Structure 1
Amino acid sequence: MRRHRTATAVLLAVGALLTGGLTTANAAAPAPVPTHSVPAAGQHRTAAFWTAERMRGAVPFDLHLGAGELKALKAPERGSGTTTVAPTTVAPTALDPTALAPAAFPQAGGPWTGGGAVVKTSGRVFFTFQGRTASCSGNAVTSQNASTVITAGHCVKYQGSWHTDWVFVPAYDNGQAPYGQWTASKILTTPQWEASEDINYDVGAAVVAPLNGQKLTSVTGAQGIQFNGGYNKQMYAFGFPAASPYDGTKLIHCSGNSSRDFLLSNDHSLGCNMTGGSSGGPWFTGFSESAGTGLQVSVNSFGYTFLPNRMFGPYFGNEAKALYDTAQVS
């Protein structure tokens, strides 16, 4: 991730240019979750668009927010009730390197060699932004529609425009898609990200169309997800960073004890050297290295230029739950 000299926050999106609601009886009704539907013709175009060459050529780009914008961030309201959705699994295949030794804890950043479910639920996200190819990361989660991917808000929408040609490639392998390319039929984000690109709510989701008669999580399995789970936990973060020193070809992870951002956001903080392209990759609590499973509680979002080797991810509160609830029944 490129670190600027000024005190700005840098998003970890990539590309060729830059790159529920739980309410009380007296509370105002939550804003509807912004949703963009992709017509069938667009899905067919996307499926043909992403060749191995185009996926390899999706170069990371940095997006940044000015210091003045950061000072205007509002503290998110936190719900008091923890909500947890359990993971689902599929039978392992020969592509899962489960015989490899687990990675050490903590880990500031390096290839994941522990195998397990996370190898198949995590993947690269590809899309076009202003006509140029781009990529992020994402993760398949347990859902009613068996087709929901969680990512970062800026990985589905930026500067008022929804991304196009959006596709999820689980277990991406240097231009290859061992579990298929899953095109989005809908992409969604939080009302706060749509309205003002508030970094505290930098969460996005996609509902992907069936592929070869199967739904996503029947092929990849799915990780559980948790909302309003609190701060200061042991965390594991995953993604496909594509900016130096990484090249987007490997699943990279970081692990350690997280904390709450003490600066300008209300996000989780974790020691991590992942770079551009890792945006949208999952953060897990209660993660099992041997099984490769955990409860997703955040996504890779941004870093401060003056704090190298530290990653930040939004707190999954009521707003993220509303997004998930809308996506999983779409």
Structure 2
Amino acid sequence: MRSSATAAVAALVVTVAAVPATAAGEVVTEVSAADRAAALSHWTPERIAQLGADDRLAPAETTAKKWDGQVPSGVGRLFVTFEPGGDMSCTATVVPSPGKDVALTAGHCLNGGFTREDDRVKTSNAVFVPGYADGKQPHGMFPVRAFAWSAQYDGPSSSGSDDAVIALDPVEGHHVEDVAGSQRISFDPLPSTVDTTILGYPVSRLARGESLVSCALPATYQTNSAYSYWQTNCDMAGGASGGPWLRDFDPATGDGTLFSVTSKGTMREDGTTADLSGAAFTDDVRALYERSATL
């Protein structure tokens, strides 16, 4: 459920700018200062707008609706470039951390494995824009200085542990959590059905990635022989990947508790999305989050 400039819902593969290092049960990639500066220069307003200008975008959602009002705390767009693949975007959410600079997204937004020729697909120009709305960047653009996923995550072909954390540079001395807020996160057991608000920036004909979109639906817990996940009838298109699944959400304050992120969607023949799923948090994802302060 990523979105690129060439397809709204595409089977693109993405991975890291340099060979990542595995340590303490996680795969970590650090981004050089020069590459972070290049990322900020890369994402001009014109380049961002181009993501939603493709004539082959998915049809507009009918269940999901444009968000009315201020973007909830900590939610924003994550932009990256893939080689091969081109520019694309996902969704991410700031979560509490000691350094006030960590956000959570889907693992496949940063880890795409290999091309058909078994070459790593390179990721560059990773930036996060909290509060993004119709081209406006109210809190600024934060370059990604490091990102990590659990060593148990096997890449885009895997649905379990499909989560990643990103560490962000301050902007003009301000940490992202201080200026954009954050959402609570919990790994506590939940009932099999949870009233859920899902948020994302699908690059479909409804909003072309320019506006936040939401679904408020029950999410049901599912499990199979490989992994456990949450499922809803939300129909957000590509670009919604990594978006938060929130329980106990208060629209008045924009605050809730994160218990999953958008991972996959089932696409119909007409290009619409039939449903969304989000991987259930695992012990290794919890450990990843708890270690994110070291990035």
Q: Same fold (TM over 0.5)?
A: yes
Quote the residue 2:72 is aligned against: 119
Query: Secondary structure of 2:292's partner?
Result: helix
Residue number among 82, 89, 92 corresponding to 1:138 in the alignment: 92
Quote the residue 2:117 is aligned against: none
Q: 2 CA distance for matches of 1:210 and 1:171?
A: 16
Q: How does 1:174-189 map to 2 (within 5 A)?
A: 174-189=134-149
- Between stretches 247-256 and 160-169, larger displacement belongs to 160-169
Deviations 1:19-72 (A, max 9, x none): 3xxxxxxxxxx961111000111111111111001111235899xxxxxxxxxx
Q: 1 CA distance for matches of 2:155 and 2:82?
A: 19
Deviations 1:207-227 (A, max 9, x none): 000110111111001111011
RMSD: 2.4
Contact 2:105 2:241 in 1 (8 A): yes
Whose strand proportion is higher, 1 or 2?
A: 2
Deviation at 1:196, TM superposition (A): 7.2
> Does 2:103 align with 1:149?
yes
Q: How does 1:1-330 map to 2 (within 5 A)?
A: 12-17=1-6, 18=10, 19=12, 32-58=25-51, 108-113=63-68, 115=70, 118-130=71-83, 132-160=86-114, 161=121, 163-194=123-154, 197-230=157-190, 231-261=192-222, 265-305=227-267, 308-330=273-295
Q: 2 CA distance for matches of 1:196 and 1:238?
A: 21
TM-score, with structure 2 as normaliser: 0.82
Contact 2:26 2:150 in 1 (8 A): yes
Q: 2 CA distance for matches of 1:114 and 1:50?
A: 25
Contact 1:137 1:239 in 2 (8 A): yes
Q: 2 CA distance for matches of 1:32 and 1:162?
A: 22
Quote the residue 1:91 is aligned against: none
Deviation at 1:114, TM superposition (A): 5.0
List runs of 5+ in structure 1 lacking aligned partners: 1-11, 20-29, 63-106
The alpha-carbon distance between structure 1 residues 175 and 113, as it changes in their structure 2 partners (threshold 3 A), is closer
Deviation at 1:120, TM superposition (A): 4.2
Amino acid at match of 2:123: H
Quote the residue 1:74 is aligned against: none
Q: 1 CA distance for matches of 2:150 and 2:122?
A: 13
List runs of 5+ in structure 2 lacking aligned partners: 13-22, 115-120
The alpha-carbon distance between structure 1 residues 37 and 155, as it changes in their structure 2 partners (threshold 3 A), is same
Query: Secondary structure of 1:325's partner?
Result: helix
Deviation at 1:265, TM superposition (A): 5.0
Contact 1:108 1:255 in 2 (8 A): no
Q: Give identity over the alignment, percent.
A: 26
Query: Secondary structure of 1:206's partner?
Result: strand
Q: 1 CA distance for matches of 2:100 and 2:189?
A: 23
Deviation at 1:309, TM superposition (A): 3.1
The alpha-carbon distance between structure 1 residues 174 and 196, as it changes in their structure 2 partners (threshold 3 A), is closer
Q: 2 CA distance for matches of 1:157 and 1:135?
A: 13
Amino acid at match of 2:80: F
Amino acid at match of 2:257: L
Higher Cα radius of gyration: 1
Amino acid at match of 2:163: V
- Between stretches 254-263 and 52-61, larger displacement belongs to 52-61
